[in-house]
Amino acid sequence: MWKNFINSISKEYHFTNPATKLELDHIQNELKVELPDELASLLKESNGVFDNWNCPLIWPISQVVKDNLFYRNFEDYKDIYMPFDHLFFFSDAGNGDLFFFAISKNGTIEKNDIYVWNHEDDSRTWIAASLNDFIKGWITGKINV
């Protein structure tokens, strides 16, 4: 489903092996949050999606875990940014800005909405109603930061 959808927009993306159940469980174990259904289904098809220059459209699970833990735990950021505990990063814009799902107070991702965190001013802005809309908008340039 996701490979066909992305290829219908652009042939400039390539895919990796599907994520294993162990890799998917790693996110929940390390970050204490369940993946949104859309992202989980994409990762089950390809553990990361990359353009022709190997820049990720969607991060692989290893990067999801690494970067989320970094932003949540880096001491120097605690003085200059609002907390990152309620953000679930899954991609970046290539300029320092990161895309995320919002984690609710009970530790779940209840809405499919996608937001962008601006690393310069610490703003968090809604940009898409779903992962599907985000991917299409980002590839076509209708979404930009």
Residue-wise pLDDT tens digits, 75-116? 999 889 999 999 999 999 999 999 999 999 888 999 999 999
User: How many structural domains does the chain have?
Assistant: 1
Q: For residue 27, what is the domain's CATH number? A: 3.40.1580.10
- CA 67 – CA 10 distance, rounded (Å): 27
- Tell me the pLDDT of the chain averaged across its residues: 96
Domain of 34 in residue numbering reads as: 2-140
27 within a domain of the structure (yes/no): yes
Domain assignment of residue 130, yes or no: yes
Instruction: Please report the beta strands in 7-143, taking only residues with DSSP state E, as ranges in sequence order.
Output: 13-15, 49-51, 56-58, 87-92, 98-102, 114-117, 124-128
pLDDT 10s digits, 17-39:
999 999 999 999 999 998 999 99
In a domain, 145, yes or no: no
In a domain, 59, yes or no: yes
- Kindly state the average pLDDT of the residues 34-59: 96
